[in-house]
Amino acid sequence: MSDHGLTHLDPLGRARMVDVTPKEPTHRRAIARCRVYMQPETTNKIASNAVLKGDVLAVARVAGIQAAKRTPDLIPLCHQLTIGSVYVNFVIGDADVEVEATVETLDRTGVEMEAMTACAVAALTIYDMVKSTDRSVFVSELALWEKAGGKSGGYRRSDPLEPAEAPAAPVVGIDDTDVDGLWDDSDRAD
């Protein structure tokens, strides 16, 4: 956290948008990454463009780019920025797809949220396109990996975020004794 405390709170503790008008525009860049875990057969289908819904990575790339441009519509206190570029790239592993989003701008505030949003939406798009054939698919490890520019300077994650290091999700108990048909969405027009 910065020396200035929580910048999105006014002196009375109410939410506010930070005033960036006195700042000079500077070049800013942010890189975010996450992973979409799935069965190896699913990654093979993605790699060979054999998913029935279409080219998974092409659709996910466009979804990520659109999401970066729409970040202020999703995150209430985000500033509207002029986005200079958005790159969404993928690395297909044995049982996962790594998603990386890079966003750049020449503006008064950073693009970390735009990079994180692009990454998350690209990953959710992959999830959406393969969920009908792979129920085990899940998204994990969304994190800022690098930022450059601005008054606070640069940041680079020093160590890879391994799944074992990620904070554990809270355990929620459910009664699964009567779940027949719970996941039956065969009538959906996916």
φ, ψ dihedrals at 165, nearest 5°:
-85, -20
> Residue 48 gets which letter from DSSP?
T
Chain mean pLDDT for the chain:
85
The percent of residues in the chain predicted with pLDDT above 90, rounded, is 64
Is this prediction's pTM over 0.85? no
* Spatial CA neighbour of 60 closest among 113, 101, 114: 101
Taking the chain, what is the end-to-end CA distance rounded to the nearest angstrom? 42
Annotated catalytic residue, options 19, 73, 96, 128? 128
pLDDT exceeds cutoff 80 at 170: no
pLDDT exceeds cutoff 90 at 168: no
Q: How far apart are CA 76 and CA 72, in angstroms?
A: 6
Q: How far apart are CA 12 and CA 134, in angstroms?
A: 48
> Residue 108 gets which letter from DSSP?
S
pLDDT in tens, 31-84: 999 999 999 999 999 999 999 999 999 999 999 999 999 999 999 889 999 999
DSSP-derived pairing of the beta strands 138-148 and 96-107: unpaired
pLDDT exceeds cutoff 70 at 190: no
Higher model confidence: residue 14 or residue 179?
A: 14
Domains and CATH numbers, the chain: 26-151 (3.30.70.640)
Is there a catalytic annotation at residue 107?
A: no
Distances (CA, A) of 95 to 67, 110, 139, 165: 25, 33, 12, 19
